[in-house]
A and B are shown apart, each in its own frame.
Chain A
């Protein structure tokens, strides 16, 4: 089941989407298997057999979903993260090309990237891969014409109006600006993904020495 959210004003509906997820969870329907918030939608995975066994019909449940009271999640309830990023040339593989494309210096691109506060709109593509909204207008550019076969783990990259971070080495066509030593996803942690949809993220510049101290590679 896919619930879509309008965005006529161009504003991100992220807070509404998080609020909607809370409301669905509060419904405590045991047949709901998974809730996947995304940029403009929530995907509700459910077990139709269990729904039926619980005495529901799909149309009755749909009506209940439509009547859910939902409010945007307040900022005070949001988790905040500061993620260290090293923008050195070894890591910022596309820093020069991207800044040339944008008609600014690499330093101006880094400053613009550092200045923004980002919202994790969704996790997708790979375990722990965050889609961050909030990239300043002036830093938006299309994906690379030729995707890389392997973008290194920890790469912080931008494309269109989004910023993303590669949890592990993956193929990808986003412009890599730098790299974080922070491990985004680890199956052995009680909460395997560092980030969750709705979280706020700010980047913090570090040098290569600090990157190494923090365990980066």
Chain B
């Protein structure tokens, strides 16, 4: 069992989401940084999208009622276990009763705490993650807070040598000397521009507007959340016929009448009525997930073919990592 001692800023149970129900108005949701979720799960021997805890910004404190195999991925934050720093991107066996404390993230926005066997919240609409806006799924449809307990699967003897070390030392945690390399393409979220495909209403920006979209820097605003990044930079205008609401997806860049674009994330509503001036390439999902208020970003045009090729190339690299971890789990 996992006990929550402090909920922190915003921590919730998230998995791969609930695809397939958008025709009923159900947001697909899921972990914002899906790559971090998958790598974290692979590190502890799980299938890629089992439920984990997504922690935003700072403050979560948890302990375990049995020795537990965990992994931390995503944004980098100072996390300690009984005052000892917990390394990221490695498997970590944590001793029963030891307290894990998460400080403020240094880079990025969201940290993932994956546990062997996943977090066993009941499935709601075929998903174990939390729909925070509609208040269902995950743990009672809400963010975690002090006093919550989450069921975990019985822990199996993964990483047998590591496990043996935990048992014969008095340490609160043990981890190997290796880690998986940074998987986030273009490590710094604000570094290189976000690749942007043309949206159905992009031509309404006109030539000058399009140039502005691809050259301006936009700043992530404090009202941003799991639903969307609210951006502010140069105000844009799009000419368009009267629009009717239509389906939208992760990465859609909408332009409301105030001219400040909104970039939709995992908890987006299933439909939207604003002009869609672009769609961020799927390969950018993790970088978008790790942007936080005050970060700057810019956009660079990208074709569909290129976007899909980049996605395939990354998937191949991730596949190599997954296979390598499957071997280590039995032998390290």
Which residue numbers of A lie inside 8 Å of B, CB to CB?
2, 4, 33-43, 45, 48-49, 52, 58, 122-129, 131, 168, 185, 187, 192-193, 196-197
Contacts between the two chains (Cβ within 8 Å), count: 102
**In the complex, how many angstroms separate the beta carbon of B268 from the nearest chain A beta carbon?**
11
Which residues of the other chain, B, contact A58 by a CB distance below 8 angstroms? 304-305, 308
Q: Is B245 among interface residues, defined by CB-CB distance under 8 A?
A: yes
- Render B1-44 as a binary contact track against A, CB cut-off 8 A, 1 for contact: 00000000000000000011111111110000000000000000
Contact B124 A41 (CB under 8 A): no
Interface size on B, residues (CB 8 A): 33
Which residue numbers of B lie inside 8 Å of A, CB to CB?
19-28, 124-125, 134, 136-137, 200, 244-249, 269-271, 282, 304-305, 307-308, 311-312, 315
Contact A126 B134 (CB under 8 A): yes
Q: In whole angstroms, how far apart are the Cα atoms of A10 and B93 in the complex?
A: 64
Q: In whole angstroms, how far apart are the Cα atoms of A43 and B248 in the complex?
A: 7
Q: In whole angstroms, how far apart are the Cα atoms of A177 and B124 in the complex?
A: 33
Contact A123 B124 (CB under 8 A): no
Q: In whole angstroms, how far apart are the Cα atoms of A45 and B279 in the complex?
A: 13
Contact A2 B246 (CB under 8 A): yes
Q: In whole angstroms, how far apart are the Cα atoms of A14 and B184 in the complex?
A: 43
**In the complex, how many angstroms separate the beta carbon of A166 from the nearest chain B beta carbon?**
12
Given contacts A2-B200, A126-B134, A193-B25, contact A48 B311 (CB under 8 A): yes
Which residues of the other chain, B, contact A125 by a CB distance below 8 angstroms? 25, 245, 269, 271
Contact B282 A43 (CB under 8 A): no
Contact A128 B25 (CB under 8 A): yes
**8 Å CB contact of A127 from B134, B305, B307:** B134
Name A193's closest neighbour in chain B (CB-CB): B24
* Chain B CB within 10 Å, residue with most, of A38, A40, A125, A192: A38
Contact B315 A124 (CB under 8 A): no
Given contacts A34-B22, A197-B23, contact A45 B271 (CB under 8 A): no
Q: In whole angstroms, how far apart are the Cα atoms of A34 and B270 in the complex?
A: 11
Given contacts A123-B25, A187-B136, A193-B24, contact A39 B247 (CB under 8 A): no
